[in-house]
Amino acid sequence: DSGVTQTPKHLITATGQRVTLRCSPRSGDLSVYWYQQSLDQGLQFLIQYYNGEERAKGNILERFSAQQFPDLHSELNLSSLELGDSALYFCASSARQGSSGNTIYFGEGSWLTVV
């Protein structure tokens, strides 16, 4: 158990819909990351938040957005869903206060199927 909690584990929704994926980082971790794993693109970095602020952006579509709340949990919002958005979405966390290095621990992922 990595300590990173993601909900829901599985989600099936229709094209055009909007979903929200939720992530609770490991206790004390300030950074939250979102990754997408698809068959054709592999594992790709989407976005990073550190202590509530956006810190880095990757290949995140404009239809997708994320935020990190004061309690450090994060949400990834996916809107106007397309069939190609079907993927495994991972949340990860790192950077406990006072520690060095950046070991990144992943949650179990949220399987999104768009039909």
Partner 1 sequence: AQKVTQAQTEISVVEKEDVTLDCVYETRDTTYYLFWYKQPPSGELVFLIRRNSFDEQNEISGRYSWNFQKSTSSFNFTITASQVVDSAVYFCALSEGTGSNTGKLIFGQGTTLQVKP
Contact residues for partner 1, defined by CB under 8 A = 2, 30-31, 33, 35, 42-45, 48, 50, 55-56, 58, 88, 90, 92, 94-95, 100-109, 111
CB 38 within 8 A of CB 114: no
Which of 52/79 has CB closer to partner 1? 52
Which of 70/101 has CB closer to partner 1? 101
Supply the minimum distance, in Å, between the C-beta of residue 20 and partner 1: 20
Collapsing DSSP to helix, strand or coil, 85 comes out as helix
CB 82 within 8 A of CB 93: no
Supply the minimum distance, in Å, between the C-beta of residue 81 and partner 1: 20
Collapsing DSSP to helix, strand or coil, 84 comes out as helix
List, in sequence order, the alpha helices (H) in the chain.
none
Collapsing DSSP to helix, strand or coil, 14 comes out as coil
Supply the minimum distance, in Å, between the C-beta of residue 80 and partner 1: 25
Which of 27/100 has CB closer to partner 1? 100
